[in-house]
Structure 1
Amino acid sequence: MKNESISILGCGWLGLPLAGALVREGYAVKGSTTSEAHLPLLQETGVEPYLLSLEPELEGDEAADFLQSDTLVVNFPPERREDIEEYHVLQFSSLIDAIRLSPVKNVLMVSSTSVYPALGREVTEEDALEPESPSGRALLSVEEMLMQERGFQTTVVRFSGLVGYDRTPAGYLGRMKEIASPGQPMNLIHRDDCIRIIMEIIRLGQWGEVFNACAPVHPKRIDYYRKAALKAGIELPPAVVGEAPFKIVDSCKLVNAIGYAFLHPDPMDDL
């Protein structure tokens, strides 16, 4: 068993399989959920389960014990609400206060490429200046809060659109009335790559960094959804003439820093 202990705040669609992968690698893993019904699932995965929430204060009888780890993975998105930006900042203020009182040395924050505006070109880690969406602004604010702390080191990983397993384009097609911006390049990443990237950052000790994480191939929306519709045997919604502003997320910094080779470099190959 590895000596390092890891706590994962948010064991949902990404966090739970990440926790399982870390357990298989020999890490001692603690995981949190906001649902009491999910506690047995964490136990079955070999994870020490905790019932915690941020509303916006960190709540849970064993919150301090949960943070008795070397590394903390923070994996919860901003809540959809009118005061999304202010509320997310309050959540992280409470969390940071608790981390300061803990032995946590390293924090990995799961963020999103929604922090980048549509600049009509490739975007790198330095381009997160003026997010266009409230959730993007909320994420950038709490990224900065974590990075400013001196009692622990933080690495931020900005993932693009998460796909894989039950997250398939066929599910989205059933709800789409039309395909807007059919020529727009897509920024996607498979869950398998997300998990492997997080594990490599932890293994290599790449702390104090900000990384983009996105598959290197960016299919056009029309090509991606056309292939998905064909495979699913469903009708492709009509494409709308005209293009919206776009961005192409560049992950070269991550690839060079940890020597990463994507398991799923082309999202089209997974359809």
Structure 2
Amino acid sequence: MKSSESVANHTKQISILGCGWLGFPLAKSLLQKGFLVKGSTTTFEKMSVLENVGITAFQIALSEEEIKGDIDSFLFNSQILIIDIPPKLRGNSNDTSTALSMTFVAKIQNLIPFIEKSSVEKVLFVSSTSVYSDNISIDLITEDTIPNPDTESGKQLLEAEKLLQNNSNFTTTVIRFGGLIGEDRHPIKFLVSRSLGRENLENPDGPINLIHQLDCIGILEGILEKNCFGEIFNAVAPFHPSRKVYYSKKAQELNLPLPKFDESKPSVGKIISSEKVEQILVYTFQKPQL
């Protein structure tokens, strides 16, 4: 492990790799709590957006071949690095989801040597409950459940988790979020758009495992406040109605067409437990009912 001497005066400086839908509001919240925050974006246009709220902005892009941007300065004097760059699942018409997400582990592999030589002692890696299979015989998924992802992105996330956790140069906590929702983002809109072209949506009786953006930020800040590193946390709202019940209700509330489900096939799914988050972080969900 690294000596704390070089970062003794910078324990409140954090670098956030990926100031997107979650990373940007997280950065703003941390600024309000007195942290110094460096944030990255892949586009030059967003640099001013970050800087205007007080984030020290860097244009950084990870690929499977290289890292473009001043990654050394981005990490300099930060004790904590938050990685929030989920695998890209959709690209242009010539790409496939598999080909795109296959690059994710290579990106993390390229990043690790820069973390190793930096002042960073602690890494907080934003992962997903997609590392757990939907086709599982147990009723309740906890952090002790052995991951067995069905999707390529889930497989890539799990490999990235292992790379970071197994590195002795820094200590990593992994946070596995469920489906992300917020004031400007809800999966019902995607489901309805899909159902307009395909009427038979799968798993009507499968349980939902979603989490609101506010709780994502609250839980990440709880990990920082309680210095809970070297851990794995699952994080979804303690609210698990069936997909059909929940999404039908949301469609009605938003005056959207009702999603159309395939009732002829058995439903699969899992219920993710967030009990560890609630107990260890002493966390109370702000949006428990979604």
TM range (shorter): over 0.9
Q: Which structure 2 residues correspond to residues 31-180 of structure 1 after superposition, within 5 A?
A: 31-68=39-76, 69-80=78-89, 81-84=97-100, 86-118=102-134, 119-120=136-137, 121-177=139-195, 178=199, 179-180=201-202
Partners in 2 of 1:211 and 1:48 — Cα distance? Answer: 29
Unaligned runs of 5+ in 2: 1-9, 90-96
Unaligned runs of 5+ in 1: none
Q: Tell me the C-alpha RMSD between the 2 structures.
A: 1.8
Partners in 2 of 1:228 and 1:128 — Cα distance? Answer: 32
Partners in 2 of 1:115 and 1:140 — Cα distance? Answer: 6
- Residue type of the partner of 1:158? R
Cα deviation 1:5-63 (Å, max 9, x = unaligned): 00000000000000000001010000000011111110122100000011124523421
Percent pairwise identity: 39
Partner residue of 2:282? 259
2:259 aligned to which of 230, 237, 243: 237
Partner residue of 1:216? 238
Q: From the superposition, tell whether residues 60 and 232 of structure 1 become closer, same or farther in structure 2 (CA, over 3 Å).
A: same
Contact 2:98–2:152 (Cα < 8 Å) also in 1: no
Q: 3-state DSSP class of the match of 2:144?
A: helix
1:253 deviates by 1.3
TM-score, normalization: structure 2?
Answer: 0.87
TM-score, normalization: structure 1?
Answer: 0.93
Partners in 2 of 1:176 and 1:154 — Cα distance? Answer: 37
Q: From the superposition, tell whether residues 102 and 263 of structure 1 become closer, same or farther in structure 2 (CA, over 3 Å).
A: same
1:174 deviates by 3.3
Partners in 1 of 2:159 and 2:187 — Cα distance? Answer: 31
Q: 3-state DSSP class of the match of 2:172?
A: strand
Partner residue of 2:5? none
Partners in 2 of 1:227 and 1:129 — Cα distance? Answer: 31
Q: 3-state DSSP class of the match of 1:6?
A: strand
For these two proteins, the number of residue pairs brought into alignment is 267
Cα deviation 1:155-194 (Å, max 9, x = unaligned): 0000000001111244224303234322211000000000
